[in-house]
Amino acid sequence: MNTHAPGHAVAGDQTVVLGLSGALGHDPSAALYIGPRLVAAAEEERFVRDKHARGRMPLESARFCLRFAGVEPRDVRVVAVPFAPIPLTRAARWHYAARHWYAPDRALDALFNGNRRYRRYRERILALLRELGIDPARVEFHPVEHHLAHASSAYHLSGFDGRVAIMGVDGKGEYTTTFFGYGENGRIHRVREFHDPDSLGGFYGALTEYLGFEMLDGEYKVMGMAPYGDPRRYDLSRLLDFRAGRLRVNTRYVNTVGLRRYRDRGRGCYYGPPLVDWLGPPRHGDSADEPYVHYAAAVQQLFEDAVLALMDHYLGDIIRESGRIVFAGGGALNVKLNQRIIARPEVRELFVQPASGDAGTAVGAASFALAARGVRPEPMEHVYLGPAYDTDACRRACAHWGERLHAEQVADIELRVARLLADGHPVAWFQGRMEFGPRALGARSILGCPSVPGIAERINAQIKYRERWRPFCPSMLDRVAPQMLGSEHPAPFMTITFPVCEEWKSRVPEVVHQDGTARAQVVERRHHPRYYALLEELERLTGNGVVLNTSLNRRGEAMVCSPGDALAMFFGSDLQYLALEDLLVTKS
């Protein structure tokens, strides 16, 4: 692995900030700033090979960040975390207690011991610092409220000037679930917050669980299932009240705790028996069948309508003034919602933090701490912030598999891979620094030619082993995007869906979803020249500068990090070709 990055030496006047997430027990990550530059960021799951790394702390990801940047533990001046104590004088704890009257143990705990989770988390962070060789007594410890960390990850990294609307939609942080505010002159201002259990993210997560997927993991599956249903078939409005700027969740049905919970196969769920009495038994299995596809469509519609109504109420004037809005939190990964946001005439530009979920709060906390010390973080133009491995490291990894593989060093690997894709073969593509965030963006990807009939179904069935109705996304040349999408809105991170122009639906049908849209990545040469060259060659061979791109992992696994991970996945699937830096690997 290339452990040092040229130009990252720490000058005496540069602030080194280490951001560490993991406060909520899932998706721990680490991020490192040297001055205004985000030098490294990575999720813990990639190193420990445990998707979402539940209950873990970001030990290996922090070690990577320090090692890659050549930063010694003594160089770290600030440690920022996305979790902070909430005083009793704030409305949050009182709201939580009042809304959980039916679970008095939780209500009383919020009032009399409301920062218990923070204190426990702080002790775990201090123990982690000692394990990293960082003396807690020698660094500034900066706790940042969870939703301020989300807000900072979007606002401070957007590169937007002037007054900018900020929106955060998540399950919950300490107590806050939904954030509306604005940024100006480097400072974040609150306009309105909502508190647990009144949570749009929690509502969506509870219905995700009812629809048979794992909460905090399967929400994008609900979003993918929704286009197969009709949202008009079922009226779910009794679950949410979002009229006139209010947000109130019906906790008899969803966001349910304690004795109100429905138990499915002995496990407590985040929805109540009244939901099951109303809609029927929860879904099980992999089929996209009725009535559940209609429920998914109705959930998606209600979520979109609620977010947009609240956005208009609290941020409408700011958006009309500036034309710009930034968005973070797990709800910001809802690409169909984002499509509706940019379709609004008053919205000129939307920046969605590419690691909008809780992994991104390491960057958010670090950038907030940096801005508080008078340093403006650089805009986030790419997410290639993880480890990289050279061809020699890849060759050594191949040696462990002996005669089970053949590894050929290829001078122009991108040209060879483009030819394989055009001939109808899926290819695993492992190049450069690993992506930060949940999307594969051409560093740890499985690729296919989107004009080859059946390539998507083949990858789903034989390589990814996932539900057959799940869609695939396109990566495309920047000059192709306006033709295919009919839009010049920036789309580098696969965070927005766009309607696909009619001509292109027949040209690249394998990356067009049921509703005629595609979640696009627009590729620029400066950020990934090898991936760009592959797209150019594929355009020469097929006429389309577009490739099907999905993450290099199997269902239920974290995206691969190292060459060893890639090879294990290669031999655990029906993949026949793996481009491992300059090596083209095939099975003997």
Q: Pick from 563, 580, 560: which is nearest to 47 by CA?
A: 560
Q: Pick from 305, 343, 299, 350: which is nearest to 498 by CA?
A: 343
Alpha carbon distance 171, 194 (integer Å): 11
Q: Pick from 507, 476, 480: which is nearest to 492 by CA?
A: 476
Cis amide leading into 6 (omega within 30): no
Alpha carbon distance 469, 480 (integer Å): 27
Cα–Cα–Cα angle for 193, 197, 202, nearest 5°?
90
Cis amide leading into 197 (omega within 30): yes
Give the alpha-carbon dihedral of 364, 432, 461, 51, to 10 degrees: -40
64, 40 in Cβ contact below 8 A? yes
Alpha carbon distance 65, 255 (integer Å): 36
296, 229 in Cβ contact below 8 A? yes
| Close Cβ partners of 126 (under 8 Å, ≥ 6 residues apart) | 136
Residues paired with 546 in a beta bridge: 476
493, 439 in Cβ contact below 8 A? yes
Structure tokens at 154: 């979007």
Cis amide leading into 28 (omega within 30): no
Query: What single letter denotes the amino acid at residue 79?
Result: V
Cα–Cα–Cα angle for 570, 571, 576, nearest 5°?
60
Count other Cβ atoms within 10 Å, centred on residue 503.
Answer: 9
Alpha carbon distance 261, 282 (integer Å): 13
> Residue 516: helix, strand or coil by DSSP?
coil
Alpha carbon distance 59, 156 (integer Å): 26
Note the maximum CA span of the chain: 67
Question: DSSP class of residue 232?
Answer: G
26 is catalytic: yes
> Residue 356: helix, strand or coil by DSSP?
coil
Question: DSSP class of residue 80?
Answer: E
Element (H, E) at 320: helix 292-322
366, 33 in Cβ contact below 8 A? yes
Active-site entry in 4, 8, 26, 406: 26
Structure tokens at 41: 């960021």
351, 509 in Cβ contact below 8 A? no
CA distances for 341 relative to 231, 326, 489, 521, angstroms:
19, 11, 12, 18
Structure tokens at 327: 């968005």
Question: DSSP class of residue 461?
Answer: I
Q: Which residues are part of the catalytic machinery?
A: 26
